[in-house]
Amino acid sequence: MKHLLKNWMGAGMLLLASSLVAQTKTPVYQNLNAPIEDRIEDALLRMTLEEKVAMIHAQSKFCSPGVARLGIPENWTSDGPHGIRAEVFWDEWDQAGWTNDSCMAFPALTCLAATWNPEMASLYGKSIGEEARYRNKNILLGPGVNIYRLPLNGRNFEYMGEDPYLASKMVVPYIQGVQKNHVAACVKHYALNNQELDRDHINVNVSDRALYEIYLPAFKAAVQEGGAWAIMGAYNQYKNQHSCHNQYLLNDILKRDWKFDGVVISDWGGVHNTNESIHNGLDMEFGSWTNGLTWSASNAYDNYYLAVPYLNLLRSGKEDVKILDEKVRRVLRLIFRTNMAPTRSFGSFVSDEHRLAGRTIAEEGIVLLQNKNNVLPVDVNKTRKIAVIGENAIKMMTIGGGSSSLKAKYETSPLKGIQDRAAKNNVEVVYERGYVGETSAQQDGMSVADIKDDRSAEQLLNDAINAAKTADWVIFVGGLNKHEFQDSEGNDRKTMDLPYGQDKLISELVKANPKTAVVILSGNAVSMPWVNQVPAIVETWYNGSEAGSALASILFGDVNPSGKLPFSFPVNLKDNGAIALGAYPGDNKNVTYSEDILVGYRWHDTKKIKPLFAFGHGLSYTQFAYGKLSINKKAIAQGEKLTVAIPVKNIGQRAGAEIVQLYIRDEKSSLPRPEKELKGFSKINLQAGEEKTVTFTIEPEMLQFYDDRQGAWVAEPGKFEVLIGASAVDIRQKVDFNLQ
């Protein structure tokens, strides 16, 4: 009996010891070396129904819960895509008043696109990803790749222009740069977001061709080439379903066809229905205003469509937990890729490297639109006084614009940048306002510089003219700003014209001093009735903390401008397709873009409408000569490739960079096609007198169009033409070939 008892006790102690070892053994989901899918399944098995539902909706304005019991961290989002937004209170939109959340403001994405340089996109993503990581954000709400269809969209400044190929090539390295920091890039706004007016409900009608050829390529590249870990749905509807829970966009295209394994996140307030939210592809719900609650209501999170309403359906058996589990898998996958990744750096914040990155991107993206008689750069040897005129020379531009508004550590204004640079050569700089636009002391909950001016409009104009008369050079700094009905989320522009009487002021300044350069700050095209009067025009975008320094380096010639437009500047509004055909803004319920695939330069080319400044246009302080275009074969078959090569030489007196653009024309097709389409580009740096050969590879996929009769991409045999140019209208060389 004692022997049996001893054996029983020994076995019991062994079982107890084994149990203790099992309890102290690291769970699979916490094992950083285990395959990520094994970690997901292990964590999922350990979670309660309530914990699963909690994980797929917000618990504050900008975060969603993890599972504290299991040591799974929360998800923290930050508005991007131009910098890490200031902290707000947990349950309010107001600024939290932190003293250590002032970020580096990077240039707007229109500027990044204008660099036409994927290396700059990679640098941008790496830098902003480091800032997000430092602030412990694991989801960056950006970048934006919605297509620029018309110059009234208040949110165009957040996007990458009108061409799907350019946007595709720029978004991929941005995403990869961000996610190297174990921060998820959340690409937005998927899809068809063209206007802020009626944005929360407008149903966008486009053909399948327009959807697949124009709107989807950048998102597809973001998923399949960039490996994006998150996608944000748009506010608008498509096929009468809101984009944040849309069967066609999310389940059919994104998840089924593209094999997206990341998280679909709603835009704030973009969810409208529990049933559709469950079944139509949404994974995480943020910022909803449910049950009639206003947008500022507190502690409304249990009322969210994917919160208690969903939980009750699951408890009653009316919804299958398998659908919930798939959503939670995606959220866990995101957490294991970010907050619970095996290796994760600490990041960095407003570092010298980030300052340099911001300035370099801005300098590469600034576009020299016009430079008659080479009046720029400013010749400091012949200049003793410069008159800087215009409100935008002193106005803060990092604040405002909606969700991209930033609390920047610093912002160098154009005036300060010009003053600092001029001082190096003892050039005097005088400033006059010229006009008064917005003078509010507060914007987006933050204080802005006091720029009130009590002078009358007439006095402001006269003082500016007098300053111009006595200066060797006039630099007018105007354009748009980030207030409502300009470049700002929530409202569209009402006109293409410059506000606050700037057109009259510019005309008067040129009369007073012909040596006048006009600098436009904007994220949109503007009309320029004075274009033939002004010798020099510069588009400088919203360039963040280093805006003024970058602008000055271009104006004074320290950096040779190399940016080119990522969208067309029409002469006037009626030259835009959506306006000409009466599509925009729709009837409050639907908008139908009957110009279809003819967006931007595709419209101008096909309809033979001359733009003010063409897509891809941008000048340099040097000149480039294009040699003879060569092609390695005159015919290819399906599956084959061909190469084209063209020598480009810097024939000027200083180093510079040229963006060589490749377009393709289909001579004859069964469906109408644009006159030509961008299918390649290369930015090359050349010393004075240097020549390089630029080579492009053409593959049959580049010749395809989407045939909505078949629901498939097709490349029809026949004759094609390769066009190489410096812009969409400046074509230097052509060569044809046949697809057999």
Q: Same structural domain for residues 549 and 656? A: no
Percent with pLDDT over 70 in the chain: 95
With a cut of 90, say whether residue 196 has pLDDT above it.
Answer: yes
**What is the per-residue pLDDT across 330-353, written as a single tens digit (0 to 9) for each?**
999 999 999 999 988 899 999 999
Q: How far is residue 536's CA from residue 502's CA, in Å, rounded to a whole number?
A: 16
Residue 403 domain boundaries: 357-565
- pLDDT tens by residue, 292-315: 566 666 678 999 999 999 999 999
The tally of domains found in the chain comes to 2
Q: What tokens were used for 666?
A: 């289909």
The 10s digit of each residue's pLDDT in 444-491 is: 667 777 788 889 999 999 999 999 999 999 999 999 999 999 999 999
Question: pLDDT at position 141, please?
Answer: 98
Place of tokens 């006048």: 516
Residues 660 and 546 in one domain: no
> For residue 212, which of 174, 238, 185, 176 has the smallest C-alpha distance?
238
Of 562, 623, 551, the residue nearest 378 (C-alpha): 551
* Residues 720 and 634 placed together within one structural domain of the fold: yes
Chain centre to alpha carbon of residue 43: 34
Q: Is 234 a domain residue? A: no
In this structure, the answer to whether residues 443 and 545 fall within a common structural domain is yes
| Inside any domain, residue 689 | yes
Cis peptide before 647 (omega within 30 of 0): no
Report DSSP letters for 327-371, one per residue.
HHHHHHHHHHHTTT-SS-----SS-HHHHHHHHHHHHHH-EEEEE
Bridge partner list, 67 = 72
> Three-state SS for 274?
helix
Q: Give the model's confidence band at 49: pLDDT under 50 very low, under 70 low, under 90 confident, else very high.
A: very high
Number of Cβ atoms within 10 Å of the Cβ of 329: 18
What CATH number is attached to the domain comprising 661? Answer: 2.60.40.10
Indicate the angle between helix axes 352-365 and 547-555, nearest 10 degrees: 50
Per-residue pLDDT band for 13 (boundaries 50, 70, 90) equals very low
Is the predicted pLDDT of residue 279 greater than 80, yes or no?
Answer: yes
Cite the DSSP H helix spans in 560-719. Answer: 577-580, 601-606
Kindly state the DSSP code that residue 285 receives in the 8-state scheme: B
Q: Which two tokens stand for residue 226?
A: 């960039």
Catalytic residue positions? 267
Maximum distance among all Cα pairs of the chain, rounded to whole angstroms: 116
Q: Are 248 and 241 in contact (CB under 8 A)?
A: yes
**In which band, very low, low, confident or very high, does the pLDDT at 93 lie, cut at 50, 70 and 90?**
confident
Task: Answer positive or negative: Cα dihedral of 444, 445, 448, 453.
Answer: positive
Alpha carbons 53 and 49: distance in angstroms, whole number: 6
Q: Which of 41-50, 76-85, 109-118 shows the lowest mean pLDDT across its residues?
A: 76-85
Q: Are 288 and 266 in contact (CB under 8 A)?
A: yes
Write the pLDDT tens digit of every residue in 637-652.
Answer: 888 999 999 999 999 9
Cα 548 to Cα 419: distance, rounded to the nearest angstrom: 9
Give the domain CATH number at 531.
3.40.50.1700
Q: Is the pLDDT score of 14 beyond 70?
A: no
- In this predicted structure, what is the pLDDT of residue 448? 74
Do 482 and 551 lie in one domain? The reply is yes
Burial of 33 (0-12, 13-18, 19+ CB in 10 A): exposed
Torsion sign (Cα): 300, 301, 306, 310 = negative
Cα–Cα distance, 565 to 638 (Å, whole number):
34
CB-count exposure of residue 508 (10 Å: 0-12, 13-18, 19+): middle
Whether 6 shows a pLDDT value over 80: the answer reads no
The single-letter code of the amino acid at 204 is: V
Token pair for 445: 């909950």
Which residue among 497, 532, 565 closes a domain? 565
CA angle 141, 101, 271 (to 5 degrees): 30
Question: 528: how many CB neighbours lie within 10 A of its CB?
Answer: 24
Residues 646 and 502 in one domain: no
The domain boundary, picked from 565, 587, 607, lies at 565
Residue 639: count other Cβ atoms within 10 Å of its Cβ: 7
- Check pLDDT > 60 for residue 397: yes
Is residue 373 pLDDT above 80, yes or no? yes
Helix, strand, coil percentages for the chain (3-state, nearest 5): 30, 20, 45
What would the pLDDT profile of 531-588 be if each residue is shown by its tens digit? 999 999 999 999 999 999 999 999 999 999 999 999 999 999 999 999 999 999 999 9
| Position 655 in a domain | yes
pLDDT of residue 451: 83
Residue 661 · residue 729 · CB < 8 Å = no
d(CA 396, CA 710): 52
pLDDT for 442 equals 66
Terminal-to-terminal C-alpha distance of the chain: 92
CA atoms within 13 A on the CB side of 240: 0
Q: Which backbone phi and psi does 575 adopt, to 5 degrees? A: -80, -5
Taking CA 485 as the corner, what is the angle to CA 483 and CA 487, rounded to the nearest 5 degrees?
60
Which tokens go with 687?
A: 């010393």
Residue 441: is its pLDDT beyond 70? no
Cβ neighbours of 259 (radius 10 Å): 9
H/E run at residue 722: strand 718-725
Give the pLDDT score at 94.
86
Q: Which of 661, 577, 656 lies closest to 615 in space, CA to CA?
A: 661
- Give the pLDDT band (50/70/90) at residue 11: very low
- Using DSSP's 3-state secondary structure scheme, residue 61 falls into coil
* Secondary structure class of 405 (helix, strand, coil): coil
Q: Among residues of the chain, what percentage have pLDDT more than 90?
A: 89
Q: From residue 334, how far is each of 139, 150, 327 by CA, in Å?
A: 9, 35, 11
Which tokens in the block code for residue 736?
């044809």
- pLDDT value at position 296? 63
pLDDT tens per residue across span 103-141: 999 999 999 999 999 999 999 999 999 999 999 999 999
pLDDT > 60? residue 80: yes
Q: Give the distance, in angstroms, between the CA of residue 263 and the centroid of all CA atoms in the same chain.
A: 19
**What is residue 8's predicted lDDT score, i.e. its pLDDT?**
35
Q: CA 654, 655, 660 angle in degrees (round to 5)?
A: 125
Does residue 572 belong to any structural domain of this protein?
Answer: no
Last residue of a domain, one of 516, 535, 565: 565
Distance, in Å, from the CA atom of 537 to the CA atom of 553, rounded to the nearest integer, reads 15
Structure tokens at 184: 């998820």
My answer on whether 453 and 538 are in the same domain is: yes
**433 in a domain, yes or no?**
yes
Residue 484 · residue 490 · CB < 8 Å: yes
Is 716 part of any domain?
yes
Burial of 409 (0-12, 13-18, 19+ CB in 10 A): middle
- pLDDT at site 16: 35
Q: What is the pLDDT of residue 377?
A: 98
Coil, strand or helix: which one is 106? Answer: coil
Identify the three-state secondary structure at position 732: strand
Whether residue 515 contacts residue 375, with contact meaning beta carbons closer than 8 Å, is answered with yes
Residue 511 and residue 408 in one domain: yes
Residue 548 lies in a domain: yes
670 Cβ neighbours under 8 A, 6+ residues apart: 707, 716
540 and 653, same structural domain? no
If you write DSSP's letter for every residue of 198-242 in order, what string do you get? TTTTPEEE--HHHIIIIISHHHHHHHHTS--SEEEE-SSEETTEE
What stretch of H or E contains 308?
helix 308-315
Whether residues 561 and 648 share a domain: the answer is: no
- Give the SS3 label for residue 443: strand
In a domain, 649, yes or no: yes
Residues 553 and 700 in one domain: no
When pLDDT is cut at 50, 70 and 90, the band that residue 354 belongs to is very high
pTM: 0.94
